[in-house]
């Protein structure tokens, strides 16, 4: 059976359109997150962000923007940990306190 050039062109056009749709839904472009244009996404309330919302683009940008901050957050953990033994002991020797772990 021979296919007419119209049929071949139609199949090709369908493939291009389908590929475009898949690309748009899976690859965030500039100003896009998770394939959804910011024009249609409601403004994000930072307080409502889920904790682990990072995604592929986020993983890349996290290194760029937060690398220096992460070093300080690591320092914060280690420095604040010096308070921990004292705070636990303080709970244990204070009448009226329930002994607990301070989140350093």
Partner 1 sequence: MSPIPKSDRKRSIQPIRRLPSAGAAWLAVVAGLVAVAGDAPPPSAPAPWPVGKAVGAVAFDCVIEEDAPLAGAKTVMFLEYAVSPRAIAYSIVWAEPCWRAIHFPCPPIGTSLYADESSFVVRHALNDVEWRQSLPAEPRGRFMHTCGNYPLVDSRIAYQEARGRRLAVSDMPELEANARSGGLGDGGGFGSPLPDRPGRPPTRISVSDVEPERIGFFFFTFRPDDRRQFEYTLEAGRLKSILTECFEVKVPVGGFEIEAKTPEFPDGVVIEQLPARYHADGRIALVEFSPRSIGEVEVDLPERIRVGTQKRQVVGPDPLRRATMSNYRSLPEMPSADTIGSRFTTDPLFESEQTFRKLTAQHWNRPVVDVDPADAAWLSTFADDCLGMAREEPRLPAKLKLFYMSIASDLMLGNNSRVDSESLPSYLQALRDGGFGGIAEIASSQVADIRANWGRPEGDSEE
Please report, as ranges, the residues that interact with partner 1 according to CB under 8 A: 31, 33, 38-39, 41-44, 46, 49-55, 57-58, 61-62, 64-66, 68-104
By C-beta, is 4 or 30 nearer to partner 1?
30
DSSP SS3 for 36: strand
Distance of CA 88 to the CA centre of its chain: 34
CA dihedral 93, 97, 98, 100 (to 10 degrees): -70
- CA 26 – CA 55 distance, rounded (Å): 11
Shortest distance in whole angstroms from residue 20 CB to partner 1: 23
> Any long-range contacts for 95-100 (C-beta under 8 Å, 24+ apart)?
none
By C-beta, is 4 or 46 nearer to partner 1?
46
By C-beta, is 4 or 68 nearer to partner 1?
68
Shortest distance in whole angstroms from residue 100 CB to partner 1: 6
Shortest distance in whole angstroms from residue 24 CB to partner 1: 17
């Amino acid at each position: 059976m021979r296919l007419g050039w119209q049929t071949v062109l139609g199949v090709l056009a369908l493939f291009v359109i389908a590929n475009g749709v898949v690309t748009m839904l899976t690859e965030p472009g500039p100003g896009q997150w998770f394939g959804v244009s910011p024009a249609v996404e409601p403004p994000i309330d930072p307080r409502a962000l889920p904790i682990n919302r990072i995604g592929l683009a986020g993983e890349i940008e996290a290194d760029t923007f937060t690398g220096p901050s992460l070093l300080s957050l690591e320092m914060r953990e280690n420095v604040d940990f010096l308070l921990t033994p004292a705070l636990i002991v303080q709970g244990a020797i204070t009448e009226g306190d329930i002994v607990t772990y301070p989140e350093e």
